[in-house]
Structure formats: structure tokens, C-alpha cells
A and B are shown apart, each in its own frame.
Chain A
């Protein structure tokens, strides 16, 4: 990390004595000012009844924690995921805005579908704070009150499941009796093969579904699994992420005979297999970049069960003004880094407003093509 120039430090000190230590984690003055303001607001909120001196000590303490690299969200205890406020705690990954953008977009697309199942079932594997089902619910039910939503969040970490439970209860309490959605959470190991020898500790997903009499079939599968390879973990994650966020949320476990890249990709084959087993019609998987996206898209293609596959960038709802807009036959849509892979089949294509592959009526087909060129994947079988 480059050193902070002394002139900047001096400039910061002139504005506020607490700003200079924040420059290290924030890197620029504007960001440091914002964070200091939010920390102050937080102190005002949590210590409103305390005296001036105590508040001051608390604020200094927060600034110090932040200066040591601790993520702001762990200090404040929350992060916004789209419009939904999510509680965060050390030990559970902080939700990212990039994830929120993909989830919002897919929920909006599905929300516009003409016909949906009488109950829409969404499986979120590796749920962490539970942010994905909560945001999906928020976006989807704001347009579709006619279709009740049933979500299941799955995570291996007990801390995550506990925190997710807390988040779901808090949000649902706020919504009072206006909600028709159900969000359930279960602890299970997504990676473990249900037919292999089972560890007693955490059940496989399939075993957990059986054990708790949860539905075996799900309309959608969403996942933001650990996807950072060991070498990328050291080279490309920020030190604040490495020192304060759980490694198990970022780096897949090592497998026999895997190279670095394969380890980073370790969840995807399993996730796609689960998608097949639960008969998911729409699958959204987050990835690190376009390269990983293409590898995942290929894996999905090799399963020979999807009608279409495309790659989304960070902001999938924005015009694609970035090269490439296609790779290996997969359309790449939106703006920013490669962020997720979307797969669909059968009715899933209709829910997303895509052209179904078996659509034989040539007129309708070309019309759909014309009306939404950007939404139509180049890739279909």
C-alpha cells in the first residue's frame, strides 16, 4: 500500500483531528469524511443518553478500530443490501453491493413474468447473512403480491444461520402482517456429495431437505458461493477482507488433485448439479470476473440441460458499452466487472422474458427477438 502523502494528512487534520487515522483504510479524503460522519451518527444513536465525554471516547474507539482495518460494517453492525438494512457481525461475510445489483435485477425480471407458479420457490445456497432471500423478497413482492414466495437459505456456518435468522425475523417484524413470504434457513453442507460417506456434523443439502420435510423441488437457485482461489486470496483481496472476514466464506476448501483455479471454481459443478436435482428453472451464480464466468458457463453448458446461458456484469441493467459483449458464444450484458452467470430452461425462459428454445412459432420468435434484443441470449441449444 502506498503511503498517504503528508500534505493530505495535514489537510485532513485541519478539517478534523479524527480524520487522519481514517485515511489509511479509506484512501481518500472524501471517503474518510463520509465514514467519520457515519461513525458520529452511530455514536449519536447508540449513546444518545451518555455524556459528552463518554460519546467522545466511544467515537475515538470506533475511529481506532476502523484505522486498524476493521470493516466499517462490523463497527456499525449493519450494511445496506439494496434498500434492505442487514445486520452484520464478525464471522459472517459482509454483503456486497455488486451482489445486490444482480439479485435486484433477476427479481425484477421474474416480477414482470406473465405467469408464475402458484408459489415461487427460491433456494439460496451459501446464504451468509440471509441478504439474498431478504432482498429478493423485497424486490419481488413489491411488484407481485399475487404470488407467495418461499425461500430457503442454506449455509454451513452456524454463525451465519443464526445471524440470518436474526435478520429475517427483524425484517419480517417490520413488515408486520403484510407479508405473504416465507423465509426458512437451514444448516447444511452444499459441497458434500449426498451419496458419499456422511460426516455426522453437518448434513448434506439433500439430507437436510429430507430431514426437515422441505420441498425437494425449487423454481430458482441463487448462490454467491466462496469463489476466490488461494493465490487470488493473497494477491487480490484487500487486507481488511483477509484480516477481518471469514476465509471459509471466500476460499473453497482444497480438493485432491486440484490446481489453484480449480479450487477457486470448486463450488460451481456442485451447484449446477443441485440445480438439476431440484429442477431449478432459473439459476443465478455469482463469480469473480469474466474468466470465471466463462468457465462456469461452460460447465453449465456441458450439463446439457439449459436453454440459455448468459453472463452479467456488475450492473446488468445498464447498457453494455464494454468489450467484450460476447465470449465463447455467451452474451455478456451490462456494465462493470463480470459478476454472475444466469442459466435458464423450460418455463424459466418465459419468466425471464427470454425466447424459449422449443418455441417453434417463427413469427413470435422473431418478434420477441426484435422487441428485446439485449435480453436475448446469443447462446441457445
Chain B
């Protein structure tokens, strides 16, 4: 057996670039896929920030052993906003980290609508979108994939299952 080949199979040295590479701030890991584009010129209020202490987070992964013994595909995230009792669930992507971000954004939007009503980002954007649609006069009737009923079903894009529980807090 050739020594070189042997060595290759045994050690993979995968060095990053030199330590004196410029320190560049890391870009956001992955852009949120469903943020609408081309609404930049609208006058939007800043996003509602949510403190970690205001929410209770749950990864809905069921009971059972976990670890090596089972290989789960559930990446669902459920957030409960303690002061209002609003519950938001997201399993849009296979990445739990990504779902956590999306769930936080959805919850932020819900809270904004609650607090700012018509002046919230969602409402402003919704009005703008409807205006554009109307002016374009393009009816694009998309059939729903009809997957709304099932629990744990989180549709595409903004169509998240969002349900609010009674005010408990």
C-alpha cells in the first residue's frame, strides 16, 4: 500500500485560512425566506422586540428515549407569550434554529397587531400589498393545498398556524 495514500485516508487536515485573516462581522446565518421584498419605501415602525423572559419555549418532540435510539424529524417550536397568553407554533423548516427565529418573528407580528392595530407593520404591509394587487388587477387564484386542518401542520410562508390561547397570565 502506498504510504501517501494511506496517510490521506487517515488524516484530513482542513485548516481554515490564516489566523490573521481580517475579522469581518458574520453575516446573518441565513436570511429569513419569507420576508417580503420591495416594501422598502414604506414607513414602518421598528420590529417589536420580545424579551426571552416574556416567553416560554417548547420543542414539541414528544416523549420517549431520544438520543441515539430514535431519529426524529420534528423541528417544531412553540412559543407562548406569558403576558398575553398568545401561542405561536412553527415547523416550517427542518431547522429548529430557523423555526425559532421564524416563530419569534411571527409572535412579534402578533403582538404588534395587538398593540398598534392598524399602524403595525403587518397591517401596513397588508394594505400596501392589497393596493398593489388591486392596481395590477391580476387575479391569481391559487388553490390552497388544503392542509389546514391537521395539527402540527404549518403551511408555507406566512401561513403559520397561529392560535391564541385564553388569557392565562
Contact = CB atoms under 8 A, between A and B. Distances in A.
Contacts, number: 167
Contact of B16 (A97, A172, A203, A339): A172
Interface in B10-40: 10-17, 19, 21-24, 26, 29-30
Interface residues of B, number: 46
Contacts of B10: 186-188, 203, 208, 211-212
A314 B70 CA distance: 14
A contacts with B: majority SS: mixed
A288 interface: yes
Interface residues on A, range: 35 or more
B112 interface: no
A184 B14 contact: yes
Contact of A96 (B68, B154, B156): B68
A47 B46 CA distance: 40
A145 B11 contact: no
A337 B14 contact: no
Interface stretch (B89-97, B102-110, B121-129, B131-139): B89-97
Contact of B151 (A30, A35, A158): A30
Contacts of A203: 10
B158 to A, nearest CB: 15
Contacts of A148: 19
A323 interface: no
A185 B91 contact: no
Contacts of B94: 38, 76, 79-80
A29 B150 contact: yes
Q: Top 10 nearest A-B pairs by Cβ distance?
A: A30-B152, A80-B95, A83-B97, A179-B16, A165-B12, A185-B12, A29-B150, A237-B69, A177-B17, A168-B14
Interface of B: 9-17, 19, 21-24, 26, 29-30, 59, 61, 65-75, 91, 93-98, 145-147, 150-154, 156
11 contacts: A29-B150, A29-B153, A31-B73, A80-B95, A80-B97, A96-B66, A97-B75, A182-B14, A184-B15, A187-B10, A238-B69
